[in-house]
Amino acid sequence: MPCIFCEIGAGRVPADIVYSSPEVTAFRDINAQAPTHLLIIPNRHLVSIADLRPEDAPLLANLVSVANELARREGIADTGYRIVTNCGLNGGQTVPHLHLHLMGGRSMGWPPG
Ligand code: AMP
């Protein structure tokens, strides 16, 4: 089975894409948990944040920078937002391709479930 997020990043599987560059793609989560809920992925396959190496620091910076820019575009920058990445089983990760969740538009609780 091909990786669903690799397929979305390559444009072979449709998604509600809000940002795309050679390195990064962002799209709306199909099961949104907040008024704004976007996923920001590297187009290159990495299983999770645990896969990042020191030389991937520019990629991580790019992912966060895109998330921040999208927060501005979505109009949630001033009210605040959450960027989260789940890693592995206990982290609650269900899709094994690194992604940042960008969520906002409502008040969030802490700690998360
Ligand atoms: P996680 O549980 O942290 O791995 O997050 C995976 C997220 O991907 C979930 O919030 C899903 O709703 C979302 N998701 C899964 N498949 C798709 C898809 N084809 N398009 C958009 N979002 C998806």
Asked whether residue 110 is domain-assigned, the answer is no
- Concerning whether 99 is annotated as a catalytic residue, the answer is yes
pLDDT at 87 over 90: yes
- Has residue 36 been placed in a domain? yes
18 vs 27: CA distance, rounded Å: 5
Q: Is the CB of 48 under 6 A from ligand 1?
A: no
Domain assignment of residue 24, given as a range: 4-104
> Would the CB of 93 count as within 6 Å of ligand 1?
yes
**Cα dist from 94 to 20, 39, 48, 57, 108, whole Å:** 23, 13, 11, 24, 21
Distance 93 CA to ligand 1 centre (A): 9
Give the other-Cβ count within 10 Å of 58's Cβ: 9
Nearest to 49 by CA among 106, 9, 110, 101: 101
- Is residue 30 one of the residues assigned to a domain? yes
| pTM of the shown model | 0.98
Q: Is residue 48 part of a domain?
A: yes
pLDDT band at 1 (very low <50, low <70, confident <90, very high): confident
What is the best residue among 6, 7, 39 to mutate for testing ligand 1's pocket, by most ligand atoms within 8 Å of CB? 39
User: Is 89 near ligand 1, meaning CB less than 6 Å away?
Assistant: no
| CATH code, 55 | 3.30.428.10
Number of domains in the chain: 1
In a domain? residue 111: no
Within-domain flag for 62: yes
Please report the pLDDT score of residue 113 as a whole number: 82
User: Is residue 25 within 6 Å of ligand 1 at its C-beta?
Assistant: no
The mean pLDDT of the chain is 98
**Distance (Å) from CA 78 to ligand 1 centroid:** 26
Contact 24, 42 (CB under 8 A): yes
CA–CA distances in Å: residue 30 to residues 13, 37, 83: 13, 9, 17
Q: What average pLDDT does range 32-61 have in this prediction? A: 98
pLDDT band at 45 (very low <50, low <70, confident <90, very high): very high
Q: Do residues 17 and 27 touch, judged by C-beta distance below 8 A?
A: yes
Averaged pLDDT for residues 60-84: 98
